[in-house]
Structure 1
């Protein structure tokens, strides 16, 4: 094969690899971060959990709790399409925590596909947990388990 042709193919391959999006620059710094949320000592299913960094340069992390109140945080930068499986975890650091659980006034789940707020859904938890002022968390450098014990009164 002609040397120029080989170099041409090599250059195209290098450019293709260089143009591929590997993910956000911080994705290799994510650590496993999961936990459990309870309300009055019982698992809280369907809670939206949001961690906002207390310092600049951090990234928000999100989760939804399952039937046992368990959750696994995912960190997704705004405006980017990424593989969520590669974004499991959170950056180590301190966070303000907001927890909400939207439901219809009769206690049922919001209709599928409807925006919860426009469907008449309301937050079923005390407002103090939604503000990000009552709860905080620290994600250690090696990752870890978080526990949020909420009270209805």
Structure 2
């Protein structure tokens, strides 16, 4: 009788453990690592914003990165989905993305006015686009990529 009682306790504990393990999930999104080099006319561009926007809104979450001096970017996801949080620096969910790449520099004369506290109306035609302006719009960039399971290296030569 004592052995049967211990067996029942053991089986109950084992069943509870298996149920708990089956119900738990990682609190993180299943993201895939994405990196690459951005060049303009073959030269690396520093400080460009690289944005991966899901082609289908239900498919994923936007990923962002900024290029370093060698033109290299690494994507990270900054928002959560279904209560799951992204791992810092972990890339994006696998799927198809429209890509924007932009680097806008404020001309020195306008920056001087802003620094002096003078209001200056925004005029996109007066900005310096280090990356051609068309790449700042997902509808006009023509850049679409697929992120697959695993590590992804996706370069852009603009």
Report the TM-score range of the alignment, normalised by the length of the smaller protein: 0.5 to 0.7
Quick one: which of 131, 143, 153 aligns to 1:145? 153
Aligned to 2:138: 132
Number of matched residues?
119
CA contact (8 A) 1:76 1:87 kept: no
The answer for unaligned runs of 5 or more in structure 2 is 1-24, 115-119
Kept in 2: contact 1:92–1:138 (CA 8 A): yes
Q: Closer, same or farther in 2 for the Cα pair 1:87/1:43, shift >3 Å?
A: closer
Residue 123 of structure 1: how far off its partner (Å): 5.2
Contact 1:49 1:98 in 2 (8 A): yes
Q: Which protein has the bigger helix share?
A: 2
Instruction: Give TM-score, length-normalised by structure 1.
Output: 0.64
Check the 8 A contact 1:104/1:120 in 2, yes or no.
Answer: no
- Consecutive unaligned residues of structure 1, counting only runs of 5 or more, are 1-21, 112-116
Name the CA distance, whole Å, in 2 between partners of 1:83 and 1:140. Answer: 20
TM-score, structure 2 as length reference = 0.62
Partner of 2:67: 65
Q: How big is the alpha-carbon RMSD for the aligned residues of Structure 1 and Structure 2?
A: 3.5
Aligned partners of 1:118, 1:141: CA distance in 2, in Å? 45
Q: CA deviation at 1:86?
A: 2.9
Larger Rg: 2
1:66 to partner: Cα distance:
0.2
Matched, 1:39 2:47: no
CA distance in 2, matches of 1:49, 1:118: 26
Kept in 2, the 8 Å contact 1:36–1:70? The answer is yes
